[in-house]
Amino acid sequence: MTRKALVMLLSAAALLASARADAALENVRGAILMNLKSESVLYIQDENRKVPPASLTKVMTMYVASDAISADKVSLSDSVKISRRAASQGGSSLHLKEGDVVSLDLLLAGAAAVSGNDAAVAVAEHVSGSVTEFLRLMNAKASELGMKNTKYVNVNGLPAQEQVTTARDMLTLTKRYISDYPDNLRYHNIPSIEYGGFVNTNKNPLLESCPGADGLKTGWVNASGYSLIGTAKRGDIRLVSVVLGGVKPEDMARESLRLIEAGFKTVASGGKIKVKQFLAEDEEQ
């Protein structure tokens, strides 16, 4: 091999290594991936960029409600009468009507699986007596968990000024939520809920496309784009991914799946091959 050919070969190898080092998810505003077993962060990308949480807000709603259930302040079997405020919420809906009486269990399922904005408000009113008090508990919980860049202004994630979060904060929340209430995953992977003559489907694309996926929550408002907290377990390894601000729903679905699959490959390699390298290889195919 001539000296010139060797230099060209080495240069090409350096460019490939650089590309792999710079590999990133496409068309998203922030992302993070963690192996919950080792508590090691496997990937970060603009993880502290502030983005409206949209319906990812409901993970905190579920957490605060679960705290109240754990403390025996309310029960899953409680009958909840739906208020006018709850029934009038826009966006994703369980199609609750004012005066309906349903169980708290159904409301939690509706908030988690089909992102019912009406269900989230009904949960807040029942647990705390008012949305204002429930919001105080949500923000207090965020502070307790160290979610320094998150602020909640409502309980369901509908558009609101000053309501923000980050990928890292959503990871912090999800890690503790799954740890404290692992049984709640049953709410997040319900395929569909039929209520009031409507069939509401789970919008989490990972449940169908990613082996081992069993949660967790999607979100969308114009100001944030499409976001997804995903979690999947294979063997004794559970990964949690957060992808915020996809331009299109297919961006959110594709990049979340790529991230989790690259994460499992990294774990299988014993950490010798980084997530970015697997993402780069995926881009090359």
Report how far residue 142's alpha carbon sits from residue 149's, in angstroms, rounded to the nearest whole number: 9
Residue 74, classified by CB atoms within 10 Å of its CB into exposed (0-12), middle (13-18) or buried (19+), is middle
Give the CB-side neighbour count of residue 200, counting CA atoms within 13 A. Answer: 25
In the numeric block, which tokens belong to residue 250?
């297919």
Other beta carbons within 10 angstroms of residue 278's beta carbon come to 22
Residues 6+ apart with CB under 8 A from 201: 114, 191, 192
What's the one-letter identity of residue 102? Answer: V
CA distance 120 to 108: 7
CA gap 30, 52 in Å, rounded: 12
Query: Using alpha carbons only, what angle is made at residue 224 by residues 223 and 229, rounded to the nearest 5 degrees?
Result: 160
Q: Which 8-state DSSP code applies to residue 22? A: T
Burial class (CB in 10 A: 0-12, 13-18, 19+), 197: exposed
Just list the catalytic residues. Answer: 55, 58, 115
Strands (E), 19-174: 30-35, 40-45, 79-81, 101-103
